[in-house]
Amino acid sequence: MTATQSSPANARSASDTPTATTSATASPATATTPQSATLTSAQGTTTVADTVVQKIAGLATREINGVYDLGGGASRAFGAIRERIPGATASVAQGVAVEVGETQAAVDLELLVEYGVSITDLAKAVRRNVITAIERMTGLEVVEVNIHVNDVHIPGAEDTAPEPTRVQ
């Protein structure tokens, strides 16, 4: 992902935006791929893990009408299996990948959309909701939200009918 785009709505004065840093005590490999961002102010520091940003993005995406599910075919199949296990829950971060830097975050989403929905309008709504949720909840600037629509859900096309048995 490249951090080349910035929304004008994201512009803030320097006094309004908390400063974010990553831990410098980690190994060089960890320092180049941060696992969390630390927001620093005069009153203390707050660390935001990548998984937090992933979950926020996943929930914000699911709030938009027209998004049927998130993830590719394999991750959706694994999620369906996981839902059948007693006590297990589906991952809200399924189909969401994030990169969190010192003050910025970038998000990649894989969507399954409902048939008949305008994909361009849906993408705009998802982008706006994800950016607003992440920036409001974490203070990180979202520089890009990449959306990959990998399938269209057609109502009634699920294989819900039981397969006929050969022996009765």
Task: State residue 128's pLDDT score.
Answer: 98
Domain boundaries, the chain: 50-152
CA distance 12 to 14: 6
Q: What is the pTM of this model?
A: 0.66
| Alpha carbon distance 107, 130 (integer Å) | 9
Give per-residue pLDDT as tens, 112-139.
999 999 999 999 999 999 999 999 999 9
What fold does the segment set 50-152 form as a domain? Alpha-Beta Plaits (3.30.70)
First-to-last CA distance in the chain?
56
Position 8 confidence tier, pLDDT thresholds 50, 70, 90: very low
Residues 95, 109 contacting (CB under 8 angstroms): yes
Q: What is the pLDDT of residues 81-97, one digit of tens each?
A: 655 666 655 678 889 99
